[in-house]
């Protein structure tokens, strides 16, 4: 019922987009109604502790909210652009596909919406069709998306035929209760690899980084909504990975590599939008690490928070320069703190101590459950850069950071207490894998500080150059995969066209 109502509202918005300006301006109202409807059903799911509905509706609510904000922003931002209405319709189509992807119970509908979204994204990348570079980016995205569709379709079809059903709910139940099968493992590995391609983690990141060619609203929806879909799908299909640690280990390996490399590249960039683009790749890597570890409540909050933050960051990227003089004026009025007060080591210790203290207080006041030691370390290390002081900062700025850090920790602990008991028991990763994860995070943490403090560039100039160039992974992927596949496609088109032409010519 909910899916029918949501799709009806989204189809109404598409219908209104073909009307006059008056009706186009009413589209955010329809999107708001869809958001309210999702919120009502989400409240019901929370009351009845329906985990599947909570996950799907929480993610859908964030997408609906993003659609409202980005549509309203784009309507004014693209004023005067010849293809403004085309963008608005594509945006509404994407929102409809996301709703179908998160709410449908059929593998066929899920796969169709997955494929349509890739096609719509490709059309968004071609917003400026007269730019040659835009076509190169779109071709790169098309290759990645085609590979993802093939892998996704093969994996889903294999699971459906093996399980004897095209119902997501029935397949989830069977994967939870059936013994380990190597054929199932293969199908799940195909699906997870498709997730990586869609999420644009390294080395599949090239098209997402170069998407700066398109207007800001397009970039905002790409980074805040589209790339998060792989994480959303992982959460929605969480029963599928419960008894297959090999799948999660494969995801973990790729995510760790992507995290350490993309986060280094991000910090070497000066352009605000390019740095935001690289941070998306790094953030999706962290989300995948959380998913692979089975920390689903953390992944859920991370995805929703990242969506809202990244949309805000892209839409307001043009005002960053104007804000700088105001920040400098505030620093002169208020007291400042020396950058040496909170070094990386001290920041990590403060973050860890603060997290443990908040956890103990909440356990007394609200009777919350304790997190694993590894989770505590992971969260503390992940959030401690908020306390880094690389330049002089005001006392007020430092206080705001501590408050934001504390609120984030409270939300994570409460969500863990509420959601963790609803998830089924997951097969833990091996101890060796966990040690590699922690070591990688520590190395990434220290590299971040070396780059931001300027020490990496002075001591290791070659590494700094490689980081600025993205370690040439995109060039390797483009030269040895994308160009080869594009060339084969062009040859196939030529052969097909010639054969059809000869057939028509020889026909009497």
Write out the two tokens for 31: 């999107």
Side-chain half-sphere CA neighbours of 223 within 13 A: 34
Q: pLDDT tens for residues 18-77?
A: 878 778 888 888 888 888 888 888 888 888 888 888 888 888 888 888 888 888 888 888
Q: Positive or negative, the Cα torsion across 190, 102, 10, 222?
A: negative
Q: How far is Cα 295 from Cα 484, in angstroms, rounded to an integer? A: 38
Stretch among 115-129, 307-321, 381-395, 476-490 having the lowest mean pLDDT: 381-395
Judged against a pLDDT cut of 90, whether residue 190 lies above it is answered with: yes
What residues does 394 pair with on adjacent strands?
A: 336
Is the distance from CB of 92 to CB of 115 less than 8 angstroms?
no
Judged against a pLDDT cut of 70, whether residue 458 lies above it is answered with: no
Give the rounded percent of residues in the chain with a pLDDT score beyond 90: 5
pLDDT of residue 157: 93
pLDDT of residue 151: 92
Question: Which residue intervals of 17-83 are DSSP H helices?
Answer: 21-24, 27-47, 51-77
- Helix or strand run (H / E) with residue 337: strand 336-337
470: left (phi over 0), alpha (psi -120 to 50) or beta: left
pLDDT of residue 320: 56
Q: Which residue has the higher pLDDT, 503 or 435?
A: 435
Write out the two tokens for 245: 């640690």
Q: Band of the pLDDT at 338, cuts 50, 70, 90? A: very low
Q: pLDDT tens for residues 94-153?
A: 888 888 888 888 899 999 999 998 888 888 888 877 777 777 788 888 888 888 999 999
pTM listed for this prediction: 0.85
Write out the two tokens for 450: 């070396």
Going from N- to C-terminal start, the domains of the chain cover 2-315, 335-420+429-465
Write out the two tokens for 338: 């020396």
Judged against a pLDDT cut of 90, whether residue 189 lies above it is answered with: yes
Judged against a pLDDT cut of 80, whether residue 445 lies above it is answered with: no
Judged against a pLDDT cut of 80, whether residue 484 lies above it is answered with: no
pLDDT of residue 127: 80
pLDDT of residue 195: 92
Judged against a pLDDT cut of 60, whether residue 240 lies above it is answered with: yes
Judged against a pLDDT cut of 60, whether residue 335 lies above it is answered with: no
pLDDT of residue 334: 44
Q: 88: closest CA among 119, 53, 123, 42?
A: 123
Average pLDDT over residues 466-494: 74
Q: pLDDT tens for residues 257-315?
A: 888 888 788 877 767 777 777 888 888 888 898 888 888 888 888 888 888 887 887 77
In Å, how far are 101, 124, 307, 400, 409 from 226, measured between CA atoms? 12, 12, 9, 31, 27
What single string gives the DSSP state of each residue in 285-333?
Answer: HHHHHHHHHT-HHHHHHHHHHHHHHHHHHHHTGGGHHHHHHHHHHHHHH
Q: Band of the pLDDT at 495, cuts 50, 70, 90? A: confident
Q: Which stretch, 240-254, 269-283, 315-329, 370-384, has highest mean pLDDT?
A: 240-254
pLDDT of residue 153: 92
Q: Which stretch, 15-19, 114-118, 428-432, 501-505, has highest mean pLDDT?
A: 114-118
pLDDT of residue 389: 64
Q: How far is Cα 199 from Cα 217, in angstroms, rounded to an integer? A: 19
Q: Which residue has the higher pLDDT, 289 or 379?
A: 289
Write out the two tokens for 477: 């992927």
Q: 142: closest CA among 217, 188, 187, 204?
A: 204
Q: pLDDT tens for residues 151-161?
A: 999 999 999 98
Q: Which residue has the higher pLDDT, 125 or 332?
A: 125
End-to-end CA distance of the chain: 56
Average pLDDT over residues 188-216: 82
Cα angle 500-504-508, degrees, rounded to a multiple of 5: 155
Q: Which residue has the higher pLDDT, 315 or 198?
A: 198
What single string gives the DSSP state of each residue in 211-243?
Answer: GGGS-HHHHHHIIIIITTHHHHHHHHTGGGGTT
Q: Band of the pLDDT at 341, cuts 50, 70, 90? A: very low
Judged against a pLDDT cut of 60, whether residue 331 lies above it is answered with: no
pLDDT of residue 399: 78
Write out the two tokens for 60: 């859908």
Count other Cβ atoms within 10 Å, centred on residue 233: 23
Q: Which residue has the higher pLDDT, 65 or 331?
A: 65
Q: 42: closest CA among 65, 60, 30?
A: 60
Judged against a pLDDT cut of 50, whether residue 337 lies above it is answered with: no
Judged against a pLDDT cut of 70, whether residue 242 lies above it is answered with: yes
CB burial class (10 A; 0-12, 13-18, 19+) of residue 447?
Answer: middle
Three-state DSSP class for residue 392: coil
Sorted by sequence, the CB contacts under 8 Å of residue 119 that are 6+ apart come out as 145
Q: pLDDT tens for residues 156-187?
A: 999 998 888 888 888 888 888 877 788 888 99
What single string gives the DSSP state of each residue in 68-109?
Answer: HHHHHHHHHHTTT-TTHHHHHHHHHHHHHHHHHHHH--BHHH
Q: How far is Cα 395 from Cα 351, in angstroms, rounded to an integer? A: 18
The mean pLDDT value of the chain amounts to 79
Write out the two tokens for 124: 């968004």
């Amino acid at each position: 019922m909910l899916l029918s109502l949501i799709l009806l509202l989204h189809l109404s918005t598409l219908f209104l987009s073909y009307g006059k300006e008056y009706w186009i301006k009413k589209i955010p109202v329809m999107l708001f109604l869809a958001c309210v409807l999702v919120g009502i059903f989400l409240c019901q799911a929370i009351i009845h502790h329906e985990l599947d509905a909570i996950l799907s509706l929480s993610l859908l609510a964030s997408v609906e909210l993003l659609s409202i904000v980005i549509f309203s922003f784009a309507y004014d931002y693209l004023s005067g652009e010849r293809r403004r209405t085309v963008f608005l319709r594509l945006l509404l189509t994407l929102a409809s596909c996301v709703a179908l992807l998160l709410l449908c119970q059929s593998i066929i509908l899920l796969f169709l919406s997955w494929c349509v979204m890739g096609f719509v994204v490709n059309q968004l990348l071609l917003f400026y069709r007269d730019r040659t570079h835009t076509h190169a980016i779109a071709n790169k995205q098309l290759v990645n998306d085609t590979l993802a569709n093939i892998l996704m379709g093969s994996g889903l079809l294999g699971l459906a035929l093996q399980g004897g059903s095209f119902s997501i709910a029935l397949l989830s139940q069977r994967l939870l209760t059936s013994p380990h099968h190597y054929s199932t493992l293969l199908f799940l590995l195909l699906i997870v690899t498709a997730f990586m391609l869609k999420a644009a983690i390294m080395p599949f990141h090239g098209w997402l980084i170069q998407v700066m060619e398109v207007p800001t609203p397009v970039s905002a929806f790409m980074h805040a909504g589209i790339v998060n879909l792989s994480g959303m799908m992982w959460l929605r299909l969480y029963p599928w990975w419960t008894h297959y640690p090999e799948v999660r280990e494969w995801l973990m390996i790729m995510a760790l590599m992507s995290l350490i490399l993309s986060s280094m590249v991000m910090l070497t960039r000066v352009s605000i939008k390019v740095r935001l683009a690289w941070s998306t790749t790094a953030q999706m890597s962290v989300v995948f690490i959380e998913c692979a570890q089975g920390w689903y409540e953390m992944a859920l909050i991370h995805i929703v928070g990242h969506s809202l933050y990244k949309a805000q960051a892209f839409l307001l990227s043009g005002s960053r320069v104007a804000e700088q003089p105001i920040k400098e004026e505030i620093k002169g009025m208020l007291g400042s703190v020396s950058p040496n007060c909170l070094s990386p080591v001290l920041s990590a210790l403060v973050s860890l101590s603060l997290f443990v203290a908040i956890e103990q207080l909440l356990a007394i006041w609200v009777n919350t459950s304790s997190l694993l030691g590894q989770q505590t370390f992971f969260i503390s290390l992940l959030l401690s850069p908020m306390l880094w002081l690389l330049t002089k900062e005001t006392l007020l700025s430092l206080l705001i950071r501590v408050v934001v850090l504390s609120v984030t920790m409270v939300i994570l602990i409460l969500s863990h207490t509420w959601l963790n008991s609803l998830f089924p028991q997951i097969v833990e990763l091996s101890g060796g894998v966990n040690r590699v994860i922690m070591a990688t995070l520590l190395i990434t943490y220290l590299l971040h500080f070396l780059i931001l403090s300027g020490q990496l560039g002075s001591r290791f100039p070659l590494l700094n150059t490689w980081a600025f160039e993205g370690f040439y992974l995109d060039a390797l992927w483009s030269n040895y995969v994308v160009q080869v596949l594009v060339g084969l496609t062009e040859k196939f088109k030529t052969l097909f066209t010639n054969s059809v032409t000869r057939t028509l010519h020889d026909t009497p």
